[in-house]
Structure formats: C-alpha cells, structure tokens
Amino acid sequence: MAEQVFPEPTVGVFIFNQAGEILLLKSHKWPGKYVVPGGHVELGERLEEAAVREAKEETGLDIYDLKFIMFQEFVHDPSFWKRRHFIFFDYTCRTDSLEVTLNDEAQEHAWFQPEAALSLPLDTYTRRSIERIIAGNMS
C-alpha cells in the first residue's frame, strides 16, 4: 500500500434503534474496543451519502434522520490497526430495523443505551461522540 499523502475524510455512524439504543461493533481494526460503523468518503460523495452507504455496507441497515455531531482529528493514533491520518465526521441517525448483517469488518455487534455504553471499552473517538450525544451538545 502506498504511503498516505493527505488526511482521509471518514464518517462515523451512531445508529439508534426505536428503543433509543445505539449500535456498537467490535472490529479487528480497533482491537479490544467497541466502535461504530463508518468508513471513507468516496470521491464525489457527500458526507451524508457516505454515512448512509457505510451503514448499509457494514450493518445491512437502512438509516434516516441524520444529524451531525462533530468532527474529530485522528493523527497516527496507535489504537488503530495501521498508521493513518483521518478526519472523522460523526453523525447520529435512526433505523427501524434490528436485523443487523455484519460485513467482514466487524466480528460482533450489540445495542446499548448511550449511558451504559460509556462503561464499555470504547475507542477514544467513539467515547467522545457518545458523551456529546448524551450532553446534547451536537455540532
């Protein structure tokens, strides 16, 4: 793989079900941590379009009612499985389904109330966004 030349814009998708629970995943890319679905923004794609696409690709869920939470900088953090520079754009959204179909990026999933999620081993960026969601200080 070629060396990274520019930071990579990515989206994080905080999916809420009808019970107010948030979907968290465990992925080999974030060893031992819970994270949310997300990934790269493709060339010519708007952030919200990337969030909808990534949610569908990684969970099989259709989402709606996207709301921007915040952006975060990720610069060569050793918590990720490889050395990268990302800019995270995090969104909350809703789904009407509980039928999660994971792709090969996640090994397991579970739904948690946001407050309960804070007691889990979360990556720093997921934790920061959940804290902001709970506080109601989005965007």
Q: Give the structural domain span for 50.
A: 8-135
CATH number for the domain spanning 59: value is 3.90.79.10
**116: amino acid identity, one letter:** A
Residue 91, domain member (yes or no): yes
pLDDT digit string (tens) for the chain, length 139 residues? 458 788 899 999 999 999 999 999 998 888 889 999 999 999 999 999 999 999 999 999 999 999 999 999 988 766 665 677 889 999 999 999 989 999 888 889 999 999 999 999 999 999 999 999 999 976 5
Residue 2, domain member (yes or no): no
Burial of 92 (0-12, 13-18, 19+ CB in 10 A): buried
The string of DSSP codes covering 12-38 is EEEEE-TTS-EEEEEETTSTT-EE--E
**Structural domains in the chain (count):** 1
Residue 3, domain member (yes or no): no
User: What's the pTM value of the predicted model, to 2 decimals?
Assistant: 0.91
Residue 1, domain member (yes or no): no
